[in-house]
Amino acid sequence: MNTKFFANTTAEFIKTKRSFALWLTILAALFIPAINVVILLERPEMLLAKFEQTPWLTFFRFNWKNVAAVILPMYIILITNLIVQIEFRNNTWKQVYASPRSFADIFFSKLVVIQVLVPFYMLCFDGFVVLAGLLVHSVNPAYRLTASSIDWNSLLMISGRVYLGCLAVSVIQYWLSLRFRNFVIPLGLGLGLWITGIVLMDWDKIIYYPYVYSTFMFFIDFDKEPQQLVVIVTSSIAALVLSVSIAYYDMKHRPERG
Amino acid sequence: MNQWIIETEHLDYGFRKDEKILDDINLRVPQGSVYGFLGPNGAGKTTTLRLLLGLLRSENPNIRLLGRQMPGSRIDILRRTGSLIEQPSLYLHLTGLENLEVFRRAYECPASRVGEVLRITRLSDAAHKRTRAYSLGMKQRLGIAIALLHDPEVLIMDEPTNGLDPNGIIEIRELIRDLNRQEGKTVLVSSHLLTEVEKLATHVGIIHKGKLLFQGTLAELQNFQYRRALLEIEVDNVTRAEQILSGRFSVSVNGGSTIHVGHTKPDEAALINHMLVGGGVGVSRLSATGNDLEKLFLDIISA
Ligand SMILES: Nc1ncnc2c1ncn2[C@@H]1O[C@H](COP(=O)(O)OP(=O)(O)O)[C@@H](O)[C@H]1O
Ligand SMILES: [Mg+2]
C-alpha cells in the first residue's frame, strides 16, 4: 500500500508538469516582496523610523501581513482549483477511477500535491522576502537589513503559524474543487467564504470559522495574549481533522465518479 | 467455475429515483469473445459500462467480472480489466509517454510495458509529442495503449471508433481483432452502428431504451433475422397466390398485385416460387425485404 501510494503520488506530480501551477506559485510568492522593495526605496523618509529597532522582523511583518490575510487565501483557492481542474478539463477522472486504486489513494495522493505546493509557496515567498530585504539594504544601507542579522527564528515562527492556520482552508477548498466540475463554483465559494470571514472578524463566534485562522495567526499578538495561541492552534487542528474526515467521507460516497 | 467473464443479473439503474435508465439487463459475455454491445444513442450503453467499472455507485448491482463481485472486489477486478470510456481521457499537456507513465504507476507494471504498448498501438514515433497535437485516431490509440498497460484479460471499450475517419476505424478494428485473436483477450465493445459490430463481434447484445432486446452469437442474430424476413412477390393473381401459400407461410396482401410472405430460411424463397408457378400463378418479381441486419436492427429496436 505505502509504496503504491508513493508511486501514485509521484504520478500526481507528473500531471502538474507544464501546467500553470509552478508559475502561479512563483508569481504569487514574488508579488508582495517586489512591491515592497519599491515602497521601501521610494519612501525612506516615512519608513526608516519603523525599521530602527528590529529591521528584519519589521520587514518580515511588513510583507507577511498582506500574505497572511489576502495573498495566501487567494493562492490556496487558485492552486487547489488548478490542480483538480487538470482532471476535469481532460475528462480523466473516469480513467483515474477505473484504475486499480483505492478511493483513499486517489483522494490523498492529490491532497499531498497541494500540501507540498502550499509550503513550497511559503518557502519561495520567504526566500523572496529575504532577497528583497538584502536588495533594499544594498541600495539604501540606512535600513540595516544586513545578511548577518537576518532573524530566521521570527521568519520560521510566522511561516509555521500561518501555515497551520491555513491547513483547514486548503482541505475545504480541495473538497469544493473536487465536488464541482465547473471551476467557477469553488472559486466563487472560496472568495465568498474568505470575504465573509473578513466582514465577520469581530463576531464573538468567529473562532469557529476556519477562513480567518491564518489571519489571526499573524495579527494577534501572542506575547500579550498567549492563551489565544492555544485556542487558535487547537481550532486549526480540529478544523483540519474535521474537514479531512468530511471531505473524504463525502467523496467516497458520491454516486458518480468521472 | 463460471464461463461468463462479464455477467450482470437483473441490473437496473436510474440517475434519479423512479427513473429507469437500465431495466433488467442480464449481460453474458463469454470468455474469449468480442461482444458487440449495440444500441442507438441514449440507449444506456455508457451507463452499463460505467456500472461495470464501478464508476457509478449502485447498492446491490449483482455485477460479476472475472467471477468477482463489483463493487466488492473493485480493485481486484480493475487490476485485470482495461477500459476506454467515451472520448479519450488523456492529459493533453503531457506527452504520450508521460500519460503512460502516469497510469503505469497506478497499474504497478514494469517500465518496459510502456514501450510495448506504444509498439502495439503504433505510437512509438509520437511518444514524445504532446497529446494535444495528436489526431483523434492517435488519441484513441493512446487510450487503448493505457488500457493495455497491465496486460488485462478483459477490455471494456465504449464506442472506440466514434468520430474517427474510415482509416482510423479500420485501424482500431484490426487492433481489437488482434488483441482478441492473438492475445486471447475478451473484449466488450459498444457501438451505435450495426455495421461496426457485424465486422468485429462474435457475440452481440442489443440494448434499446435500457432494455436488452437481443443477446447471442452473431450467427444467431443472422438466423433471427430470417425468421422475421419477408419476401415481396409481384403476382398476376393475388387471391390464388394467397390460397396456395397460406397453408405453410404467413401471407399478407399488400396492394393490388404484391403479397408479403414471411419465411425463415433463405432457400425457402425457391420453394415459394416453385409452389406459385406450379399452381398457375405468374410471378413477375420476387425480392427480399427486411432481410438485412440494418433493417432487423431497426425492427428490433422499434418493436
Ligand atoms: N450523468 C447522467 N445524469 C443523468 N442522466 C444521464 C447521465 N448520463 C446519461 N444519462 C441518461 O441516461 C440515458 C442513457 O445514456 P447513455 O448510457 O449515455 O446512453 P448511450 O451510451 O447508449 O448513448 C440517456 O437518456 C441519458 O440522457
Ligand atoms: Mg455512450
Q: What are the sequence ranges of the domains in chain A?
A: 2-252
Contact B124, B175 (CB under 8 A): no
Asked if B85 and A98 come within 8 Å (Cβ–Cβ), the reply is yes
For residue A241, which amino acid is it? V
* pLDDT of B2 over the 70 cut: no
- Residue A254's pLDDT is 92
| Nearest Cα residue to B92 out of B102, B105, B82 | B102
Q: Is the CB of B114 under 6 A from ligand 1?
A: no
Residue count of chain A = 258
Low-confidence ranges of chain A (pLDDT < 50): none
How far is residue A249's CA from residue A257's CA, in Å, rounded to a whole number? Answer: 14
Nearest residue in chain B measured CA to CA from A94: B55
The CATH number that domain B4-216 falls under is 3.40.50.300
Interfacial A residues in 193-212 facing B (CB < 8 Å): none
Distance CA A99, CA B99 (A): 14
Q: Is B46 in the pocket of ligand 1 (CB under 6 A)?
A: yes
- Cα(A257)–Cα(A95) distance, integer angstroms: 10
Higher pLDDT: B297 or A249? It is: A249
Instruction: Report the alpha-carbon distance of residue A112 to residue A9 in Å, rounded.
Output: 7
Q: Is the pLDDT of residue B291 over 70?
A: no
Dump pLDDT digits (tens) for A73-103.
Answer: 999 999 999 999 999 999 999 999 999 999 9
Cis amide prior to B266 (ω within 30 degrees)? no
Supply the pLDDT for residue B1.
47
Asked if residue B163 has its Cβ within 6 Å of ligand 1, the reply is no
pLDDT bucket at B296, cuts 50 / 70 / 90: low
- Report the 10 Å Cβ neighbour count for A147: 10
Strands B230-235, B211-217: pairing is unpaired
Ligand nearest to the Cα of B20, by number: 1
Q: Which ligand is nearest to the CA of B21?
A: 1
Q: In the numeric block, which cell numbers belong to residue A139?
A: 541600495
B121 lines ligand 1 (CB under 6 A): no
Interface pTM, i.e. ipTM: 0.91
Q: Is B208 in the pocket of ligand 1 (CB under 6 A)?
A: no
Q: Measured in Å, how far apart are chain A's first and last C-alpha atoms?
A: 23
The helix (run of H) or strand (run of E) holding residue A197 is: helix A184-199
Q: Which residues of B touch A (CB under 8 A)?
A: 15, 50, 53-57, 74-76, 78-79, 81, 83, 85-94, 98, 101-103, 105-108, 146, 150
Query: Which atom belonging to ligand 1 lies closest to the Cα atom of B39?
Result: 22
pLDDT at B221: 83
Ligand nearest to the CA of B160: 2
CATH class of B229-302: alpha beta
The pLDDT of residue B195 is 87
Q: Is the CB of B16 under 6 A from ligand 1?
A: no
Residue B50 alpha carbon, nearest atom of ligand 1: 17
Question: Taking the alpha carbons of B193, B195, B198, B199 in that order, is the dihedral positive or negative?
Answer: negative
Start-to-end CA span in chain B (Å): 36
**B94–A18: do the CB atoms touch at under 8 Å?**
yes
Our CA-based measurement puts residue A94 at a distance from the nearest CA of chain B, in whole angstroms, of: 7
Check B107 against A254: CB less than 8 A apart.
no
Q: Which residues of B fall within a CB distance of 8 Å from A7? A: 105-106, 108
| C-alpha dihedral sign at B122, B128, B131, B135 | negative
A99 inside 8 A of chain B by CB: yes
- Nearest residue in B to A87, CA atom: B91
Inter-chain touch B89–A10, beta carbons under 8 Å: no
Q: Quick check: B53 and A98 CB within 8 A?
A: yes
Residue B301: the pLDDT is 64
Grid cell of A225 as nine digits: 495574549
Q: Cα of B26 to ligand 2 centre, how many Å?
A: 19
The verdict on the CB of residue B17 being under 6 Å from ligand 1 is no
Domain boundaries, chain B: 4-216, 229-302
Instruction: Specify the DSSP class assigned to residue B202.
Output: S
Closest CA to B13 of B54, B65, B67: B54
pTM confidence score: 0.88
**Burial zone of B288 (CB within 10 Å; 0-12 exposed, 13-18 middle, 19+ buried):** middle
pLDDT tens by residue, B240-255: 988 888 888 878 787 7
* Nearest alpha carbon, ligand 1 atom 14: B44
Task: Tell which atom from ligand 1 comes closest to the C-alpha of B41.
Answer: 23
Query: Around Cβ A238, how many Cβ atoms within 10 Å?
Result: 13
> What sign results for the dihedral spanned by CA atoms A118, A120, A123, A127?
negative
